[in-house]
Structure 1
């Protein structure tokens, strides 16, 4: 059997999955990742824990599959994006916990320099926001004693999680990333496809700190032979949402997918056209092959599955994520209850780091089921926020391909179709993020000759069509928009109003 192995390192867990050539899952291992919240708005991970868990997962997945390292044609890595690690080149020790993409500690810097946002957007396709890696890097260099001087001497290395894992897998031999992850740092020029010296100067990030940028399917070296009994080629790297775009076979301009994990991320393929948004979406690299980038528009929602995790772990309203479906079905509607999960601010199209979560419409009749259903509905409403912006910037999608752990919930997936008023299609393999990484490794190793080979493997599991009257869907969505308005910070509301005025 020709096997491909995907490392899928996400915000809340680390996984390794073995696939066969047809994209069928053969074995999987997973470890939950602890979250650290040292202060309000701060989110951190233990980078060494991420490595230890990843190593354990790969070994366990290989053992479950009955394969040894020599049977694996290649490894693909996909990862939570923007999360920032800086480590010592000599020892491989991180100088601080990883700062997670959700972290908002650099909000003040971003607000102070909003006059540079248009300049940054023209180069990177991004906004000046704490979400991206650049301000996280600068914070680490300024706050960890001696870090800036050591970085300038070339003693330290920066990486998003893919780079960190690649360094560890190769025993420190390779310090690299791919174009998709580089495009999420706010240091990478989308047009030149290289680190941008003006951006490096603005954020005060030494070039010596940065990894080499390669294609998404490329020779990233081989694993240290001591790790798995024999070296395995590493042939693919892509950030999680771009990997899911590959796994969903969204290879033609206009195709769109949305992934539901910790957050929700919608990606629209725009082909070889770099299209800058007028509605506060992001422009990004969907994938880069043979030196040629394919671009995309992306909308990012910070809290989707994390809202369910909050219901379980913080509020103790449910015992397991699977309880949400039966609770949502147990009532006809939320009776006007809306939950806005702005726990770490709001992402696209609002980009309001100071917004905070709230529940509206509570009455004496409100029960657990209403709050749980409102949490699930918030995912659908946020998705509609993104879809509306996509339609204004590019095309109005005629169907949406979905994936991620949340869409195994049939009620939620039907709710998406009802709120969006377009068909929603779930693939047979919902592990599309990991599958996309495996596909990229397969391209590099020769398992697949082209993207067409991969597209032929994609198969639908179920198609959900709208069952709700359009006027009711519009009324419910109007209630959501009203609820969002009430959690917005004053300055962000002004900024969004200005942006909408300028774009109109």
Structure 2
């Protein structure tokens, strides 16, 4: 029997799958998402083509069963568009989370960053919707009137698809998606009048915020939308338990290290306080999150899959491996991809090993911080880069306070969204994972990690 169907609206691919009564995901359908074009810091794609591709993926997945199970939706965060209410035609392209046109807003509002962080748990960064929307409305003053009057609508990708699936009747999002706009107060889980004022966004143009589960929303395709959540939240829901001393390390295009917050606790200074999801009773579940920026781009020129753990810590050159600057907890755009000594004379394989060390050490330091604050006994690795044995073993060797595992379950975001829709138990109870073998004892890497921390602290103070 099929318990749920899930749809994952990713940046590079769109996926759908069926969840069995036993909690196994199958029948996965995958289609490439429309290409995102990059032009001078603007990252855009065809919103209508994306919606049509998502409809096709969902229909192909639905064709595998005569049942009409509840639907769980998960979506890339912070990508958004504006469209016409009357026709459903997009006014703007789908503006990607990668787009940095909001940098101007961040510069203008830098004096308000403490207030913004207090209300949202997030830094003031161009990554999010509000800074980009502020620029759009300032560049196009007539748009504000059309939005405020209801002729045009604004929403993230989930909101646009839900609006289409309900024949234009519902303008909705969930708390986890709203939390990544810089416009929602994460404590009340409602749009903040103060944040709307700071970003000069009319509050009435924003969609209704709902909990992440318990929707029971009838769609025109015959399905019932039962849950909607951000893709990262869905992956976390599938991977670790809310009440256990566990952390998830996801290494893909970028990277994040995340641990659920114990009740009543806040994220340490510099770390993101992430609203993971809100249950149907209105209870919000939070996590502390550290981030690594653009690590896949740093590794792309190199054959990193041939690196071995034995290639690490062979010299005293240190590395930062984030081309777009250090993520949380540092948020230092001026400290991007760099080395402590010239590397032009080194063979590519050696440079690749240094980049991998930079990723390993950043992950290990985040884990150290979260372990010191909240305790961590188990670390689970996920994402495409986590398949690299060199990264697996390096993280396990530098974070000896916790057992390190690699999740072997595919499509964690799909699984999390489906389990949320089906009302199944969440967390790590059904996960599939294998323990990382650290190999024979090798003190060189932990010793170099200790020296790297001293070097990094010097760079941060400079």
- RMSD (CA atoms): 2.9
Are the equivalent residues in 1 in contact too, given 2:309–2:394 (CA < 8 A)?
no
Which is worse superposed, 471-480 or 429-438? 471-480
Equivalent position of 2:364 in the other structure: 384
Residue 275 (structure 1) shift? 1.1
Matched, 1:284 2:274: yes
Q: State the distance in 1 between where 2:454 and 2:44 align.
A: 31
Residue 435 (structure 1) shift? 0.9
Aligned pair count reads: 459
Matched, 1:473 2:453: no
Aligned pairs for 1:427-466 (under 5 A) are 427-443=407-423, 448=424, 450-451=425-426, 455-465=428-438
Q: State the distance in 2 between where 1:18 and 1:304 align.
A: 31
Within the candidate set 362, 382, 392, 1:413 is matched to 392
Aligned pairs for 1:308-457 (under 5 A) are 308=299, 311=300, 315=301, 317=302, 324-328=304-308, 331=311, 335=315, 340-358=320-338, 361-363=341-343, 366-392=346-372, 394-421=373-400, 422-443=402-423, 448=424, 450-451=425-426, 455-457=428-430
Equivalent position of 2:19 in the other structure: 19
Residue 403 (structure 1) shift? 1.7
Equivalent position of 1:502 in the other structure: none
Distance 1:335 1:44, change over 3 A: farther
Distance 1:480 1:249, change over 3 A: closer
Matched, 1:172 2:163: no
Equivalent position of 2:119 in the other structure: 123
Equivalent position of 1:204 in the other structure: 200
Are the equivalent residues in 2 in contact too, given 1:345–1:351 (CA < 8 A)?
yes
Residue 337 (structure 1) shift? 5.6
Which is worse superposed, 325-334 or 159-168? 325-334
Q: State the distance in 1 between where 2:181 and 2:80 align.
A: 9
Q: State the distance in 2 between where 1:328 and 1:92 align.
A: 52
Residue 75 (structure 1) shift? 1.6
Are the equivalent residues in 2 in contact too, given 1:12–1:32 (CA < 8 A)?
yes
Q: State the distance in 2 between where 1:334 and 1:155 align.
A: 62
Residue 466 (structure 1) shift? 7.7
Are the equivalent residues in 2 in contact too, given 1:250–1:256 (CA < 8 A)?
no
Q: State the distance in 2 between where 1:442 and 1:370 align.
A: 48
Q: State the distance in 2 between where 1:330 and 1:221 align.
A: 54
Equivalent position of 1:500 in the other structure: none
Residue 194 (structure 1) shift? 0.8
Q: State the distance in 2 between where 1:104 and 1:129 align.
A: 9
Contiguous gaps of at least 5 residues in structure 2? none
Residue 124 (structure 1) shift? 1.5
Distance 1:358 1:463, change over 3 A: closer
Q: State the distance in 2 between where 1:103 and 1:388 align.
A: 31
Are the equivalent residues in 1 in contact too, given 2:277–2:286 (CA < 8 A)?
yes
Contiguous gaps of at least 5 residues in structure 1? 226-230, 319-323, 487-492, 498-504
